[in-house]
Amino acid sequence: MNKINVAVIGVGHLGKYHAKICAEDQNVNLIGVVDSNKENADKVAAEHNVISFTDVSEVIDLIDSAHVVVPTEFHHVVTSKLLNAGKHVLLEKPMASTVEEADELLSLAKENDCILQVGHVERFNPAVIGIQKVLTQPIFIEVHRLSPFNPRGTDVSVVLDLMIHDLDIILYLVDSEVEHIDAVGVSVLTDTPDIANVRISFANGCVANVTASRVSAERMRKIRFFQNDAYISLDYVAQNAKIFKRKDWQIIDEEINFSGERPLQKEIQSFIKCITDGSRPEVSGEDGRNVLKVAEQIEESIKEHLDRLKENHPAVSSTS
């Protein structure tokens, strides 16, 4: 197989890992890295003995594909340039700032016959893959994704920053239409919600309760599934799951460890495979668009709740 010429666009906290994995992959030829911060670009480029650039237009004719790991507000403009030039794109989550922008990217990918994969990395978590063998039809799902405050990612709300990971997993595993969303959110340290909770009701009767916070004292990444024959508790970070089942009127518990694999590496390998054989991405542009739509609905529900609060309590600010 011929090596795929790749550039990583944006080499901040997450982009550095994309560059490292690409540099190590035998099927990839990392041409260079791009970052508007020249010092940052030079540093990461030197680590992998590649060329640094400060603008995507400087590298676009040298590559077959690109990883777009820039702030969300630039996803649309950067990815549009790449797709218009016929380049395949692995686009970090959230796919875009709005559903309208996501739809435009989908159209460009189709028009130019390009692979467009969205970086919902938890799909490649071995624990998520592993529990699908025992997960049949969840009735109730509960999620906690909590983090201490970090200025990185605060260009968007906690819904698009953290919660969207779990929204993608829920939409993927429930595979039913969303019927109702009821959400609340609070801004603590930024101008957008830093803590949010949503209750999502699906057409098939499943209900998901999702909490995300980026101002917590502890770090937690857990999702729990309740179904008729079992309760499954999954830890994204530890990459393990505890399964509780009833047998002869006793509760039997089993712990399964799936650790040992790097989800980001699996995600990138999957992207390379799609380019090579033309297969549909595990997390397609349509998937990214659909989860972004639900995230937008959650943000709108939060806004409506805050508006109701302000009507009854004028002292409540629009960002509280």
**pLDDT one-digit tens code per residue, 203-250:** 999 999 999 999 999 999 999 999 998 899 999 999 999 998 877 666
Q: Which CATH superfamily is domain 123-262+296-309 in?
A: Dihydrodipicolinate Reductase; domain 2 (3.30.360.10)
Every domain of the chain with CATH number 3.40.50.720 lies at 4-121+264-283
DSSP-assigned states of every residue in 240-308: EEEEEEEETTEEEEEEEE--S--HHHHHHHHHHHHHHH-PPPSSBHHHHHHHHHHHHHHHHHHHHHHHH
The overall pTM is greater than 0.95 = no
Given a cut of 50, whether residue 320 has pLDDT beyond it is: no
DSSP-assigned states of every residue in 60-128: GGG-SEEEE-S-GGGHHHHHHHHHHTT-EEEEESS--SSHHHHHHHHHHHHHTT--EEEE-GGGG-HHH
Residue 319, pLDDT score: 45
Given a cut of 90, whether residue 260 has pLDDT beyond it is: no
Every domain of the chain with CATH number 3.30.360.10 lies at 123-262+296-309
Average pLDDT of span 20-29: 96
- What pLDDT, in 10s, does the model give residues 36-76? 999 999 999 999 999 999 999 999 999 999 999 999 999 99
- Classify 4-121+264-283 by CATH class: alpha beta
